[in-house]
Structure 1
Amino acid sequence: MSSKTDTLLSLLDGQPVIPVLKIDNVADAVPLARALAKGGLRAIEITLRTADALEAIRRVIGEVEDAIVGAGTILDPRHFEQAAKAGSKFIVSPGVTRELLVAASDSPVPLLPGAITPGEIMTARDAGLDFLKFFPAEQAGGAAFLKALASPFAGIRFCPTGGVSAGNAASYLALPNVICVGGSWVAPDDMVKAGDWAGIEALAREATGLRKA
């Protein structure tokens, strides 16, 4: 594996589920990250889908010592630079482009790019990346599709995201080419809006129990 893959895997530290978070209210970021960390999910992905996402990243990094914060929905080099400057420990993209690969190659921050098709996987592999996001997982064929990729792409590992839930996460984690899964079910919108941090901590503990077979 590449050194950046090693860095990323050390940050995730065997965590089976990576919470994928869309922060609508920046005031929720810190208590949400604290609840997830208490439940065992220290590594989180805050997506750049809202205006306050970068501020949320900065706040969590500054106030939640246990949290390991990554930035998601990175679409171009400008996003990559903004997320890295905000202090993100890892960067997640829904796809892979040449421009994004160049930006990542010039940065110490590891990139987890999305790849679904064999061509996209080969492009990432040629760039030295062997740990990839598989998105949108369920819509692209789910666990059966990922299982079919294991033989032709030996050595490539995935983090399926998109449609992954408490009900199907175990089927992904049972695959030899899956390291972890990403999902938002551990931080439901209604519980975040209600400030039910204890409930979210409980969901995080359940997700932590979904260990690799």
Structure 2
Amino acid sequence: MQKLNILKRISEEQIMAIVRVDTIERAEEIVQGCLAGQISCVEISYTNTNAGEIIQELKTRYAQKLLVGAGTVLDGETARQAILKGAEFIIAPNFSEDVAKICNRYQIPYMPGCFSVSEVVEALSSGADMIKIFPGSSLIGPDMIKTIKTPLPWVPMLSSGGATPDNISEWLNAGVDCVGVGSLLTKGTAEEIAKNACAFQQKLKEIKKKA
């Protein structure tokens, strides 16, 4: 049930902050801004060596208020370490069968990066729960999502980069289940991040009213 609840929360919230930080203090400032703007899904990138400690500390401080996952997880060893530190989902720029096995063992959602239909099918066949369209979604935009969704309309998808409050409707209309947002939700003060988060949430409300 834990895995299903995590995936349900991600798909319902529809926005995830992509966070790369060096310190827990900066991570907390970003999280405070996101939460003030009603965004509670956060990916902490393993491009920094202390990502595990940051994930652990955030879960200790915020518990269920925050859904925290690990990003840029390239191998099974890193995936297991992240999960033991409290990561509730695993995201990567690539697909790894070893990571898929670890995530399935611990019943943690796995969202590997794929660029082609062949990669998407391979990842799904190995138990991936959602596909991160990478780097296509940031380079090409929503059209990349439509391209993949045409032959594979059932695939849950996560975008990574390129989304703003002004164009988020294009991403959602293309078939994205969750929109990954970087600088708009991680740069500046907590107040500036909160302002951007509120702008995203306002657009989501408008989109839902029209649906």
Please give the range of the TM-score, normalised by the shorter of the 2 chains.
0.7 to 0.9
Q: Report how far residue 24 of structure 1 moved.
A: 2.2
**C-alpha contact (below 8 Å) 2:46/2:71 kept by paired residues:** yes
| Aligned counterpart in structure 1 of residue 32 of structure 2, from 31, 34, 39 | 34
1:199 matches 2:192: yes
Further displaced range: 65-74 or 27-36: 27-36
How many angstroms apart in 2 are the aligned matches of 1:161 and 1:36? Answer: 17
Structure 2 distance, partners of 1:102, 1:130, is 12
Deviations 1:116-147 (A, max 9, x none): 111111102212435211112122x3211211
Output the amino acid matched with 1:34. Answer: Q
Structure 1 stretch displaced more, 29-38 or 160-169: 160-169
Deviation at 1:79, TM superposition (A): 0.9
Letter in 2 for 1:200: I
Q: Provide closer, same or farther for how the CA distance between residues 89 and 188 of structure 1 changes in structure 2, counting only shifts above 3 A.
A: closer
> How far is the alpha carbon of 1:99 from its aligned partner?
1.8
Q: Is the 8 A contact 2:56 2:85 kept in 1?
A: yes
Aligned residue number for residue 47 of structure 2: 49
Superposition RMSD on alpha carbons, in Å? 2.0
Residues 156, 33 of structure 1: alpha-carbon distance in 2 compared, 3 angstrom cutoff: same
1:78 counterpart = 2:71: no
Q: In proportion to residue count, which structure has more helix? A: 2
**1:164 and 2:157 matched:** no
* 1:18–1:44 contact (8 Å) kept in structure 2: yes
The question of whether the paired residues in 2 share the 8 Å contact of 1:34 and 1:67 is answered with: no
Cα drift, residue 102 of structure 1: 1.9
**Structure 1 residues 62 and 130 mapped into 2: Cα distance closer, same or farther (>3 Å)?**
closer
Q: TM-score, normalised by structure 1?
A: 0.86
Q: Cα deviation per residue 1:3-58 (whole Å; 9 max; x = unaligned)?
A: 78733322325112200000122221223212211211111111111122111111
Residue 138 of structure 2 is matched in structure 1 by 138
Q: Is the 8 A contact 2:109 2:129 kept in 1?
A: no
Q: Distance in 2 between matches of 1:90 and 1:135?
A: 17
| Aligned AA (1:35) | G
Instruction: Check the 8 A contact 1:101/1:127 in 2, yes or no.
Output: yes
Task: Give secondary structure in 1 for the equivalent of 2:13.
Answer: coil
Percentage identity across paired residues of the two chains:
23
Q: Structure 1: how far apart are the matches of 2:3 and 2:144?
A: 23
* Structure 2: runs of 5+ lacking an equivalent: none
Secondary structure of 2:192's counterpart equals helix
What TM-score comes out, normalization by structure 2 length? Answer: 0.87
What residue number does 2:56 align with? 58
Stretches (4+) displaced over 6 A: none
Q: Which residue of 2 aligns with 1:18?
A: 16
Indicate the SS of the match to 1:106. helix
Q: Residues 66-121 of structure 1: CA distance to partner in whole angstroms, max 9, x if unpaired?
A: 11111111000011011101101111111112222222221221111111111111
Q: Which amino acid letter does the alignment assign opposite residue 16 of structure 2?
A: I
In 1, the alpha carbon distance for the partners of 2:144 and 2:41 equals: 26
How far apart are the structure 1 equivalents of 2:2 and 2:150? 24
Question: What is the match of residue 180 of structure 1?
Answer: 178
